[in-house]
Chain A
Amino acid sequence: MQIDITEQMLELIRLTSTNLPPDVEEKILEARERETEGSAAKGAFDTILKNVALSRKQSTPICQDTGTPIFYVYYPEGWSTIKLRAQIRNAMVEATKKNYMRPNAVDAVYDKNSGNNLGGDDFPSIHFEEVEGSTLTIELMLKGGGCENVGAQYSLPDSRLGAGRDLAGVRKVVLDAVQKAQGQGCAPGILGVAIGGDRGTSYAKSKEVLYDKLGTRNADEKLAALEERLTDEANTLGIGPMGFGGKTTVIDTKIVGLHRLPASFYVSVSYMCWAYRRRKLVIDGNSITYS
């Protein structure tokens, strides 16, 4: 029997918007330690950490741009996705009334904000995938517009950067994307990178990898090494938090390798701001957990 999870969805949205995940906060604390006392970079991290604590205490949004809500729903056999979708959408309306979410869905043709975070069939963005077993897992990411705007997709080869169709070329375009972003995506950022796929899949997968925990590496050795190298090299660019200059420009890099057509070689970079909001709800029988 499928239960109504509107209330749990509202809690998931509240948690995601107002309470930064502990793995992210820990990385920001570490980055703060690396900056020089009295520097603009350290000051920026201090303000960021004060804001994180205050948002958690007050249950108010970490960032006023509560972003594109992107849900991934992993549901066991027997759950109706029609009902789940309706409950998620109802929770979104309620979360907007409670100011956990800013009204963020704007009709691009008629330039009208819907006022309740619902817009057509695709806002919020909801992905469904049926899974084995009895556990319902829902992951939510709120991705702000500032960092979304500095995302980039490259088609290799790229003669401007001298980037060919190999991992050496991937490295070059990713570093280019970070340099171009400067502080505008609310650095320090977290990079989600997809190699291969068609344009659409590639971008979608570059976001999907951002649901993973920070610090975990790709199982493929080559990609794991490239993840670490990209983070280290990006941090020599000196862009720093907010683009004030500093030692941490990128907190972590996540790469996913896909298959591609012989004719295409896309590299997609999704840039996530420091306000890296993603949370998970797991329902199994009577057990309901948020993480």
Chain B
Amino acid sequence: MKKLTLPISDETIKDLHVGDPVLLSGVMVTGRDAAHKWMIETFIKKTKPASAEDLVAYEDLKKLLNGSVIYHCGPVVSGLETKEYKFVAAGPTTSIREEPYQADVMQHFNIKGVIGKGGMGKKTLEGCQKTPGVYFHAIGGAASFIAQSVTKVLGVYKYDFGVPEALWVIEVKDFPVVVTMDSHGQSQHEVIENNSRKVLDELLAKPF
């Protein structure tokens, strides 16, 4: 089991291959549907104007995400009223919804890893080769278990997106993931998809 501390260097990323189990420690940021759309529209394609608050968040996020990872997660958070935030349940959400955005977001912010579930497609795989970066798969639904590795909530951006969609800055210790897409163009998801497609074609050809 590899133990990695964030931020991660390019050399370390290139050392990771599909199938490697990894324990991550350090500071990362959560971001899912609303966050990706916002980053693309406001800072990358600039099709929407940035508010003063957006610009402050952007400067902070550039530093936080540089060399670090983004976690596709919409957590259950306690302490909302007192702002003494704590992650109660925090498993990954389905990553494929970020497929149109992910590669551009990775390259813009120099993000070295994406944590989620279900894997991603060709565009992100190419993004992993270019940046370079990897896709880390966490266990979907294992929310209480994963929340235990979140030791601290350091802050939150875009709280108005709602608790699940906000960008939470968290400190983690030994966060358990498996590499399923690497920087060498390998994707476990592509392999399983192709193999299961062959089996399905055989099943469809069988008489009832």
Q: B-contacting residues of A (Cβ < 8 Å)?
A: 40, 43-44, 47-48, 50-51, 54-55, 58, 60-66, 99, 101-104, 106, 111-113, 115, 144-146, 149, 161-162, 166-168, 171-172, 175-176, 179, 182-186, 233, 236-240, 242-245, 273-275
Q: Is the interface of A mostly helix, strand, loop or mixed?
A: loop
Bound CA span A188–B144, Å: 19
- B204 and A60 contacting across the interface, CB-CB below 8 Å: no
Contact with A along B160-194 (1 / 0, CB 8 A): 01111100000000001010100000001101110
The chain A residue sitting closest to B206, CB to CB, is A233
- A102 and B74 contacting across the interface, CB-CB below 8 Å: yes
- B162 and A61 contacting across the interface, CB-CB below 8 Å: no
The A-B contact count (CB < 8 A) is 171
- Interface residue B143 (Cβ < 8 Å from any Cβ of A): yes
Task: Give B143 Cβ to nearest chain A Cβ, in Å.
Answer: 4
- Interface residue B139 (Cβ < 8 Å from any Cβ of A): yes
- Interface residue B142 (Cβ < 8 Å from any Cβ of A): yes
Q: Within 8 Å CB of A244, what residues of B? A: 137, 178, 180, 188, 192
What would 6 A/B residue contacts be, using CB atoms closer than 8 Å? A51-B144, A64-B91, A176-B204, A182-B193, A240-B192, A242-B137
Q: Within 8 Å CB of B100, what residues of A? A: none
**Contact pick for A146, options B90, B94, B199, CB 8 Å:** B94
Q: Within 8 Å CB of B19, what residues of A? A: 40
The chain B residue sitting closest to A179, CB to CB, is B200
- B117 and A175 contacting across the interface, CB-CB below 8 Å: no
- B143 and A51 contacting across the interface, CB-CB below 8 Å: yes
Q: Is the interface of B mostly helix, strand, loop or mixed?
A: mixed
- B73 and A238 contacting across the interface, CB-CB below 8 Å: no
- A51 and B21 contacting across the interface, CB-CB below 8 Å: no
Task: Give B97 Cβ to nearest chain A Cβ, in Å.
Answer: 8
**Contact pick for B163, options A51, A113, A175, A275, CB 8 Å:** A113
Q: Within 8 Å CB of B40, what residues of A? A: none
- Interface residue B145 (Cβ < 8 Å from any Cβ of A): yes
Q: A102-B163, A184-B96 are in contact. Are A64 and B204 (CB under 8 A)?
A: no
Question: Among residues 118 to 177 in chain B, which have CB atoms less than 8 Å away from a CB atom of chain A?
Answer: 118-119, 137, 139-148, 161-165, 176
Q: Within 8 Å CB of A162, what residues of B? A: 204
Q: A62-B141, A184-B118 are in contact. Are A99 and B200 (CB under 8 A)?
A: no
Q: A40-B19, A103-B164 are in contact. Are A239 and B145 (CB under 8 A)?
A: no
Q: A146-B117, A167-B208, A182-B118 are in contact. Are A62 and B143 (CB under 8 A)?
A: yes
- B141 and A66 contacting across the interface, CB-CB below 8 Å: no
The chain A residue sitting closest to B73, CB to CB, is A64
Q: A104-B164, A238-B199 are in contact. Are A161 and B204 (CB under 8 A)?
A: yes
